[in-house]
Amino acid sequence: MINRKSEREIAMMGEAGKLLANCHREIAKMIKPGVTTKEIDSFVEEYLAKHGATPEQKGYNGYEYATCASINDEICHGFPRDEKLVDGDIVTIDMVVNLNGGLADSAWTYVVGKADEKTQKLLDVTKASLYKGIEKAVPGNRLGDIGHAIQQYAEAEGFSVVRDFTGHGIGPTIHEDPHIPHFGEPGKGVRLKEGMVVTIEPMLNEGTWQSKMDDNNWTARTVDGGRSAQYEHTIVIKKDGPLILTDQGE
């Protein structure tokens, strides 16, 4: 069942979204060779506590951390850890903020040190593909319109789109209907309606889209060892189009 949100719920999710966007801006400043994803995770917990919020991922289905931190060939749900990031790594930090019961979800890929041309292209195309998908999130369009826009652009730029993880509705809980694939056919799938709040979160790979699961049963990584990037926003579908609740101004 797809539940549409009231103005009040949307306002609460918007407050969580602003805090989450600010938290990502702080993380951006921390990303340097030598920092660990455990340190980033601790920072996030303290930052949220200071602002009266909690990390919704912690304890979700037994997940133990405030953030997911996915490095290089890890697609998503990487565990924060003590290994130091090194120059040239890419790392996706994903988190769900709960502020007074309003949730917001946003992931961002950061480069450690200076990005070479190939890395920059992966990040630029992944981010641009997110915005191509968001553009299609207007009432009357269908889910396939979002997925198609992302896939067509990503593949034309030489990357593949992960199939095994999708965007999702978000409301009182992290994952609600509908699932939002980042690939698909225009005009197919559920029709989008005013008041739906969803995440769009394309994961693009340098090589094949196929993923495999680590022994920890959480972390997905590329089968071919190619790197994977991801950008995610929480958006609300308004009468006149999408509004990004987790906008960082980038």
The window from 22-30, 35-43, 55-63, 233-241 that contacts ligand MF3 (CB under 6 A) reads 55-63
Return the number of the residue (59 or 187) whose C-beta is nearest Co ion. 59
Structure tokens at 38: 């455990």
x/- map, 59-78, ligand MF3, by CB under 6 A: -xx-x----x--------x-
Picked from Co ion, ligand MF3, none, the partner binding residue 56 (CB below 5 to 8 A depending on kind) is: none
Within 8 A by CB and 6+ apart from 236, the residues are 5, 10, 13, 14, 195, 196, 197, 242, 243, 245
Q: Phi and psi (nearest 5°) for 44?
A: -60, -45
Instruction: Tell me the closest approach of the beta carbon of residue 39 to ligand MF3, in angstroms.
Output: 18
Please measure the distance between the N-terminal and C-terminal CA atoms of the chain and give it in whole angstroms.
33
Among 20, 107, 143, 245, binds Co ion (CB under 5 A): 107
Structure tokens at 123: 């990040």
CB distance 203 to 233 below 8 Å: no
Return the number of the residue (26 or 116) whose C-beta is nearest ligand MF3. 26
Return the number of the residue (77 or 221) whose C-beta is nearest ligand MF3. 77
Q: Is 94 in the site for Co ion (CB under 5 A)?
A: yes
Q: Is 76 in the site for Co ion (CB under 5 A)?
A: no
Within 8 A by CB and 6+ apart from 192, the residues are 137, 138, 139, 140, 141, 142, 143, 237
Residue 210 identity: Q
Q: Is 235 in the site for ligand MF3 (CB under 6 A)?
A: no
The window from 53-61, 82-90, 128-136, 184-192 that contacts ligand MF3 (CB under 6 A) reads 53-61
CB distance 175 to 230 below 8 Å: no
Among 56, 73, 74, 105, binds Co ion (CB under 5 A): 105
Query: How many chain residues are in contact with Co ion, going by CB under 5 A?
Result: 4
**Three-class DSSP category at 161:** strand
Q: Is 94 in the site for ligand MF3 (CB under 6 A)?
A: yes
HEC sequence for 55-119: ECCCCHHHCCCCEEEEECCEEECCCCCCCECCCCCEEEEEEEEEECCEEEEEEEEEECCCCCHHH
Q: Is 41 in the site for ligand MF3 (CB under 6 A)?
A: no
Picked from ligand MF3, Co ion, none, the partner binding residue 40 (CB below 5 to 8 A depending on kind) is: none
Return the number of the residue (63 or 131) whose C-beta is nearest ligand MF3. 63
Q: How far apart are CA 153 and CA 42, in angstroms?
A: 36
Give the residues lining the site for ligand MF3 (CB under 6 A).
Answer: 57, 60-61, 63, 68, 77, 94, 96, 105, 107, 174, 199, 201, 232
Q: Which residues bind Co ion (CB under 5 A)?
A: 94, 105, 107, 232
